[in-house]
């Protein structure tokens, strides 16, 4: 999955006609940082992924899928994050970068003794009520 994300960052950057330097300038990082992110030599912090999404004008779902899709056709993404502080920090970063975020939990087992904690993520356009 991580390699796919890295490859898709490169794909969307190239599709946008941006060099590594141009993307680096847009997100406040160095060209060598972008090279490291794309090659797999450097881990990509979530805050940087959010900045890249904004700079490339794509959604998290687009990045995962590798192609842009109609906003109405997109389904919300869910990310499992068990640590509450990590969930709150991740949610804050995503909201700051234009996403609608909901927290949730569900039974992982039929007995309900184990729970999955998750964030459900939507772009503003997905959560907007356009029926009025």
pTM over 0.75: no
Q: Which residue reads 């300038």 in tokens?
A: 25
What angle in degrees, to the nearest 10, is found between the helix axes of 20-27 and 46-56? 110
E strand segments, the chain: 77-80, 99-107, 115-123
Both structure tokens of 93:
């970063």
Can you give the residue ranges of every domain in the chain?
2-65, 71-127
Q: CATH code for 2-65?
A: 1.10.260.40
Q: Which one, of 50, 59, 56, 97, lies nearest residue 77 by Cα? A: 59
Across the 132 residues of the chain, what is the mean pLDDT of every consecutive 10-residue run? 88 93 96 95 91 92 80 68 88 87 88 86 57 40
């Amino acid at each position: 999955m991580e390699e796919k994300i890295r490859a898709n960052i490169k794909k969307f950057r190239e599709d946008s006609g941006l060099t590594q330097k141009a993307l680096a300038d847009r997100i406040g990082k160095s060209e060598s940082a972008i090279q490291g992110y794309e090659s797999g030599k450097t881990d990509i912090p979530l805050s940087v992924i959010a900045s890249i999404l904004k700079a490339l004008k794509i959604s998290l779902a687009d990045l995962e899928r590798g192609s842009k899709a109609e906003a109405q056709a997109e389904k919300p993404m869910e990310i499992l994050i068990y640590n509450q502080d990590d969930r709150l920090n991740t949610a804050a970063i995503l909201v700051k970068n234009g996403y609608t975020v909901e927290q949730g939990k569900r039974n992982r087992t039929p007995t309900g003794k184990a729970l999955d904690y998750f964030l459900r993520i939507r772009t503003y356009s997905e959560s907007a009520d356009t029926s009025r």
